[in-house]
Structure 1
Amino acid sequence: MRAHTKYLLAAAITALLVGAPIAIGAGENQPVNGGARNPAGGSTANYTQETQIIANLSGYGTRQSNKSNNGGGAIYGCRSQPGGTPAGNEPCIRASNLVNGLAFEFANNGGTTVGTITSGNPNAAPFTTNATGVATGLNADQVDGQSASQIVTTAQALNSKGQVSEAGVLANARGITSATRTAAGTYTVTFSSDVSACALNATVVDAANNGDVAIAPNSATVYTVTTRTIGGVVADRAFHITSLC
């Protein structure tokens, strides 16, 4: 019995000595060492269970900071596949507020750029959202520095329009500087810019006695408009004229 007990004790001690380094290498239930790789044991050592830090206080549960003037506070890396949480592929970073407060804040101390989003695929969407509210301070309605209303105004400025009475009086004009009746049913219309590459259109206003309208260029900006009755007789008729450029 003594010999048997001695061998059992020796075997237990040997197993403890051999097994202890393996447990330390795995990292679970071991202290975290500052300024070192955790878990210890080289590049093949990894935690195999989720490491949780749970707090219950009015401030932040954890804080990471770096006092160096060229070092970051934290870096996170992962090898998650596409799709994110809905696809069961957890993203590298997820901030989830379990009530209705903010999930994240990004702030800097006055620099010209708060942050960047880069991708190995330049055609990738920088982010997606199901939120449809207006993002305060985000100029999402601007293209090349112009708001949506300014873009419309700029586009409209490329197209001229005007209303000309039977007497040749110009009204409600944009891009047309003048209109003059030069003879019966004949009018000279002057545009403020070259419209020779534009599509010009004129329509007689009198719907009850509609007629033909002809437009002939005198120059890149000056055009003769001739109006006729429904029977083809040249006569004074009010008309609208537009250019589509």
Structure 2
Amino acid sequence: MSKHDQQPDEPRRGLRGRFGTGSVRTRNVIAATGILAIGVTATGFAATGSPLLQGKRNGTTSAETEIIANINSTNGPTGGYSTRQSNLSSTGGGAVYGCRSTAGGSAAIPPTNPCLRANNLSTGYAFEFNASNGLTAGLITVGKGGDATKPFTTNATGVATGLNADRVDGKNATDFLGATEKATDSAKLGGQEPAAFAQAGDFLFAAVDATGKVTASRGGTATAAVTPATTTATVTFTKDVSKCSFTATPNTATATSGLSLAVSSVTADGKQVRVDEAGTPTPAVLVPFHLQVIC
């Protein structure tokens, strides 16, 4: 049988059939090249898509590892989260996130992302912290602490429900007052209501007779203390008039050309005004007078 009479299923197969049998070196080089190609492919897969290694440190990546899910919330103890990390040990430790970010945060230009960020793109909560049985939910420490550091900042100015800023160590601000101090009330001055002070535009007066009786008044008391020997009268008003102006004029038909009346505020509360009468001849008794107070 000649070579032209061979059947189609008789050609040599494999490497020997394709490259012949004359060179063992050629066959070995080809085989080694195939093994190397397989190894390179396996190495490339491990660097970009290998599974997580339990109990070991996984390799450092230069790209984000994204875990995307579409899971609805549930009422059960599990479900509704893309991932769940838990530690059954009584010494705790569900997860730790560390980074080396500098100051500024993700809003900085360029951004310096925080070690942990929860970003809700809808209208619900961005985070929840729950200490099921503990008395303290957590701890925030900043550097060495002190007045120069802040636990956090916010652009929200509403009242934080349940956050009691009126108490320190469970005590009200009034519990820290000294023995002689009074509680501060922005509606009061020195503990007095605004009505206790004469206001701008107030006009007060008192008509005092020779016995020291106030016969007519506006803002004055019914009587005035009189010292006959010095012909001095003191009129008490219901308001502080120490910052007002005073004018006293004789109220008598008798000639008083030599009489002078000196008026002054004499008490710490500013409510009393003293009128001293003097002149030539010196009056033997108090001369009736009108006292005007203008504020």
Cα deviation for residue 23 of structure 1 reads 6.0
Partner AA of 1:214 in structure 2: V
**Which of 69-78 and 118-127 deviates more?**
118-127
Cα deviation for residue 11 of structure 1 reads 3.9
Aligned length: 199
The CA distance in 2 between the partners of 1:14 and 1:224, in whole Å, is 105
Q: 1:38-70 deviations in whole A, cap 9, x for unaligned?
A: x1xxxxx41222111111111111111111111
2:95 paired with 1:110: no
Select which of 32, 52, 57 maps to 1:32.
52
Q: 1:146-181 deviations in whole A, cap 9, x for unaligned?
A: 379xx9x8224892437495328xxxxxxxxxxx96
Contact preservation (8 Å) 2:266, 2:272 = yes
What SS does the corresponding residue of 2:35 show, helix, strand or coil? helix
- Aligned CA distance change for structure 1 residues 17 and 126 (closer, same or farther; 3 Å): same
Q: Pairwise CA RMSD of aligned residues?
A: 4.5
**Which of 12-21 and 123-132 deviates more?**
12-21
The CA distance in 2 between the partners of 1:202 and 1:208, in whole Å, is 13
Partner AA of 1:146 in structure 2: N
TM-score normalised to the size of structure 2?
0.52
Gaps of 5+ in 1: 40-44, 169-179, 188-200, 217-222, 241-245
The CA distance in 2 between the partners of 1:213 and 1:4, in whole Å, is 125
- 1:227 maps to 273
What SS does the corresponding residue of 2:267 show, helix, strand or coil? strand
- Aligned CA distance change for structure 1 residues 105 and 224 (closer, same or farther; 3 Å): closer
Report matched runs for 1:2-13 at 5 Å: 3-4=25-26, 6-13=28-35
Partner AA of 1:13 in structure 2: I
The structure with the largest alpha-carbon Rg is 2
Gaps of 5+ in 2: 1-18, 73-79, 198-218, 227-232, 249-262, 279-286
- 1:83 maps to 104
The CA distance in 2 between the partners of 1:238 and 1:111, in whole Å, is 67
Select which of 152, 162, 166 maps to 2:220.
166
Report matched runs for 1:85-234 at 5 Å: 85-87=106-108, 88-122=111-145, 123-140=148-165, 142-144=166-168, 145-146=171-172, 154-156=183-185, 159-161=190-192, 163=196, 166-167=220-221, 182-183=225-226, 184-185=233-234, 202-203=240-241, 212-215=264-267, 226-228=272-274
